[in-house]
Structure 1
Amino acid sequence: MIWPPVKAWTSKAYIDGQVHFVAINYGGELPSRWVILMSVLDSTVVVKVPWSQLVDLSNWEPGWDEINHREPSKLVNNKSFVKTNDFFNPSFDSGLTIPISENIIRPWFKQV
């Protein structure tokens, strides 16, 4: 899997009722790389996922996929565990900042 990560991700399990996420920031060096993901539908659901878990196709899938059946996740089962006041700023290449000042923006989806 390429680094930096694409922006669109689908969790194979519900995380606080959500499955579609945007990678808003990332960092670290191997083997401790991480990605901050925010739910597409509920911006209060923010999780920091180790890169090793994100590239595990049994946990996450790049892109937004519609899967009919998912299992509830124990990763985040209550919004009180998600600290939005510790929110990380979007990465410089996220395309989520205003104004967009960078010419290089990470892709939303994996290049086919």
Structure 2
Amino acid sequence: MKWPPNKSWTSTTPRNGFRHFVALNYGGKGRDRWIEMVAVLDAKTTLRVSLKELKLTNKWKSGWLQLPKDESVMPTMPTNTEKPYKSNDINHLYTSIDWDERDW
């Protein structure tokens, strides 16, 4: 997988009630690389996913896949079994130190 990764992702299963995500930030080196993502339909739903997990095609698909309407959003939000990533500064987004200009 190229680094930095693609911007749009579809989870094969709902993550905090959502399946479509956008990569906002990324970082780490080698085996410790990670990607911060936000749900397309809810900016408060954020995840930090390791590059290793993102490579698992049974968990993530690159791009936004067309989903049946009943699968795109959970009808009721589940109890939060997956802890969202909490940044120390939730009011601002900063680019990674290895940020480069690229067409997203």
The residue that corresponds to 1:91 in the other structure is: 95
Q: TM-score, normalised by structure 1?
A: 0.69
1:79 to partner: Cα distance = 8.6
Count of residue pairs the alignment pairs up: 94
Tell me if 1:82 matches 2:87. Answer: no
Q: Cα distance, 1:83 vs. partner?
A: 5.4
- Structure in which a larger fraction of residues adopt strand: 2
Return the TM-score normalized by structure 2: 0.73
Q: Does residue 4 in structure 1 map to residue 1 in structure 2?
A: no
Deviation at 1:85, TM superposition (A): 5.5
What is the one-letter code of the residue matched to 1:105? R
In structure 1, stretches of 5+ residues that fail to align are 93-101, 108-112
Q: State the AA in 1 paired with 2:42.
A: D
Which residue pairs with 2:34 in the alignment?
34
Computed over aligned residues only, the root mean square deviation of the Cα atoms, in angstroms, reads: 3.0
- Residue 56 (structure 2) pairs with residue 52 (structure 1): no
> Which residue in the other structure is 2:101 paired with?
104
Q: Residue 81 of structure 1: CA displacement? A: 3.7
- Asked if structure 1 preserves the Cα contact closer than 8 Å seen for 2:15 and 2:82, the reply is no
Contact 2:10 2:63 in 1 (8 A): yes
Change in CA separation of 1:35 and 1:80 when aligned onto 2, cut-off 3 Å: closer
Gaps in structure 2 of 5+ consecutive residues? none
Shift of the alpha carbon at 1:16?
A: 1.2
Percent identity between the two aligned chains: 30
